[in-house]
A and B are shown apart, each in its own frame.
Chain A
Amino acid sequence: MPVDSRAINSLLLISVMILLSSPAAGRSYQITEGESGWTTGLRQSNNISLNITGSAIGEGSYQRYTEMGILYVHMRERIAAHRGTLDTSEHIHLEANTSNDVNGPNYGKYPGGQIFYIIVNESWPVSLTASRNMDYLGEGISESEIFGNNLDYVGAAYWQAKDLKKDRSCSLALQNAFFRALINDASHTIILDEFQPNKLTDYRLNSRSDGMATLRHRQANDRVTAAESTESYIGRFMIKRHLNMTNTYTNLTRSGAWPDCCAISGSLPFEEMVFSVNPDEY
């Protein structure tokens, strides 16, 4: 039987990178096939609780930079307000915990071929809620925000508004995430690339502004865009928006999801493989 030289020369590396630093852990699962590959990206477990409550009222200029998030549940905010009067108040709560750890990963190769699989069930819940009321009159304010939740996002931006009244609240939740990949080591192809997070994004906006306003959102199903939109308003507008995106996924591959009908030994006939685990690479 001739030996496929490509199969010999190719390097299939399945690795689990672990970042261990108590109490947080970071893990990245990836499969490298030559120059291509598959990865879950860095997933971090953390016990985090963050509360921000604040308000400001006054006259002058104002700037703001916000970046926060974990496990791709994040918010980004930029505000630049030129001289004017501003009244703003906000509340942000971020919480993540590692009460349920990762189930898996399961690695293996289906018998009789060169198809490898990797399955990761991750139950690291994250919750991020953010609300802001802002009232500005002045020479001009530019303000942009975006909330992302594992490939979904929603946001709004206002440019050069001399009059901006904005009440916004957003709630993001990630319950768990399920990854599965099938890779054919013979043909160097990724047969299946599945990413199914159980997530919720709820965004409410009530604004009144002049200048230019842009609203956008994207909802992903697996890694594919299922819905997206961008809209712009130039002039004086009252904008009300409520956007709710949910993605619930039942992992049918987990034990207990299937009736115990056929398996005799209780274990599936997978060929066990040896994987490299290299915590130093991250």
Chain B
Amino acid sequence: MWSRLLAGALLVSILFGVICISSVQGQGPSITFAAKWEKDNLIIDARIADAEELTSATLYVIDAKSRDVVWTEHRILRAREANLSFLWPRQSWRISNGTNFIEPAVVVNTIDLPPEEAPYMVYSAPCQMALNQGEDETTALAYFDEKGRFHSLRDLSGKEYYRSMEFLRSASPTTPYGRYVKNNITLVVGQTALRFFWLNLDHGLNTFPAMVLDRSPIQHYTLIIERRASGEGPFVVEIEAEDLAGVKAKEFSEPISPIRKTDVKAS
């Protein structure tokens, strides 16, 4: 239950928070951070403090040229002060269904999940789901494991539309997957389409073209998330924090360019 609430809260945060970037000033969390390159990794050390208890902190990495958000990481906080260290591997997320791909997609690490579900729900990607062509869309979260394989699809109320064979086997070892597919999975192969999100500082939250799920659930619909090397930059780091009263604050870095290998040799 907590995981769904948190995931929903994060989605709402993405939907409404980042669009209003730079619009919240004054009282609320105070954020200071420093970023430095270590090879291809950008290490961000942040200190966040608030008079109220902090509830969450979110890292956004933004391509300064396209102003697309290429990386997101979410943390849960339960204190008035927090020293956080983020690592951005200079990568962005691509989502592919085996035929088409989209990038950079909004993909977020999940937090605070039950241990039996956590291995199958390491990352989540918000999307708009239409079960059949022409039907109304529902906001949902697609969940992926550490290797990027698709394991679950749930709407914001927690209703599950798909669960992978591995996930089912873990939760209910005696249930045959064929029977589960027949009785529980409502996605329609060749019909159900997902529209994933991309985020831009100027254009806000947008959806990519629809991706049709045309493979079997036993093949995880061949839907995967992949890490792709980001471009040359420069990049802007943004950290957003929220306290118990719902007050948000954001802090941006100056554009940061990766260290080129030739630069390293020259030094």
Asked if A137 is at the interface (CB within 8 A of a chain B CB), the reply is: yes
Dominant secondary structure at the B interface: helix
- Which residues of A sit under 8 angstroms from B219, Cβ to Cβ? 85, 87, 135, 137
- Top 6 closest A-B pairs, CB basis? A87-B216, A135-B216, A57-B178, A85-B218, A87-B218, A137-B219
Contacts of B217 in A (CB 8 A): 87
Q: Is A165 an interface residue (CB 8 A)?
A: yes
Q: Once bound together, how far apart are the Cα atoms of A87 and B99, in whole Å? A: 19
Q: Is A274 an interface residue (CB 8 A)?
A: no
- Please tell me if the beta carbons of A57 and B218 are within 8 angstroms of each other in the complex: yes
Tell me which residues from 180 to 231 in chain B have a Cβ below 8 Å from any Cβ of chain A.
Answer: 181, 214-219, 222
Interface positions, chain A 203-217, Cβ under 8 Å from B, are 208
Taking CB atoms, residues of chain B closer than 8 Å to A87 are 216-219
A59 close to B (CB within 8 Å): yes
Number of A-B contacts (CB under 8 A): 32
Which residues of the partner chain B approach A56 to less than 8 Å between Cβ atoms?
Answer: 178
A58 part of interface (Cβ distance < 8 Å): yes
Complex Cα distance, B216 from A24, in Å, reads 42
Q: What B residues does A57 contact at CB under 8 A?
A: 177-178, 181, 216, 218
Distance, CA A13 to CA B181, complexed state (A): 63
**In whole angstroms, how far apart are the Cα atoms of A125 and B215 in the complex?**
37
| Chain A residues within 8 Å of B7, by CB | none
What are the residues of chain B within 8 A of A208 when measuring CB–CB? Answer: 98-99
Residue B165 CB within 8 A of the other chain:
yes
- Which residues of A have CB within 8 Å of B99? 208, 238
Q: Does A86 touch B at the CB level, under 8 Å?
A: yes
Residues of chain B within 8 A (CB-CB) of A165 are 214-215
User: Which B residues are in CB contact (< 8 Å) with A58?
Assistant: 177-178, 218
Q: Distance in Å from the Cβ of A110 to the closest Cβ of chain B?
A: 61
- How far apart are the CA atoms of A165 and B218 in the complex, in Å? 12
Question: Among residues 167 to 220 in chain A, which have CB atoms less than 8 Å away from a CB atom of chain B?
Answer: 208
Complex Cα distance, B218 from A133, in Å, reads: 14
CA distance A165 to B217 in the complex (A): 13
Is A86 in contact with B218, judged by CB distance below 8 angstroms?
yes
CB-nearest residue of chain A relative to B214?
A165
User: How distant is the Cα of A238 from the Cα of B222 in the complex, in angstroms?
Assistant: 15
> Nearest B residue to A138 by beta-carbon distance?
B219
The smallest C-beta distance from B223 to any residue of chain A, in angstroms, reads 13
Find residues 65-107 in chain B having any chain A CB closer than 8 Å to their own CB.
98-99
Q: Other CB < 8 Å A-B pairs besides A87-B219, A135-B215, 19 of them? A: A55-B178, A56-B178, A57-B181, A57-B216, A58-B178, A59-B218, A85-B218, A85-B219, A86-B218, A87-B216, A87-B217, A135-B216, A135-B218, A135-B219, A137-B222, A165-B214, A208-B98, A208-B99, A238-B99
| Binary flags per residue of A47-62, CB closer than 8 Å to B gives 1, else 0 | 0000000011111000
Interface members, chain A 16-69 (any B CB < 8 Å): 55-59
Chain B positions within 8 Å of A238 at CB level: 99
The 5 listed contacts between A and B (C-beta, < 8 Å) are A56-B178, A58-B177, A85-B219, A135-B215, A135-B216
Write the nearest CB–CB distance from B88 to chain A, whole angstroms.
32
Closest-CB distance, B207 to chain A (whole angstroms): 25
Q: How far is the CB of B229 from chain A (nearest CB, A)?
A: 23
Give every chain B residue within 8 A of A86 (Cβ-Cβ).
218
CB distance from B94 to the nearest CB of A (A): 18
Minimum CB distance partner of B217 in chain A: A87
Within the assembled complex, what's the spacing in Å between the Cα atoms of A57 and B184?
14
CB closest chain-B residue, reference A137:
B219
A164 to chain B, nearest CB (A): 11
> Shortest distance in angstroms between A55's beta carbon and chain B's nearest beta carbon?
8
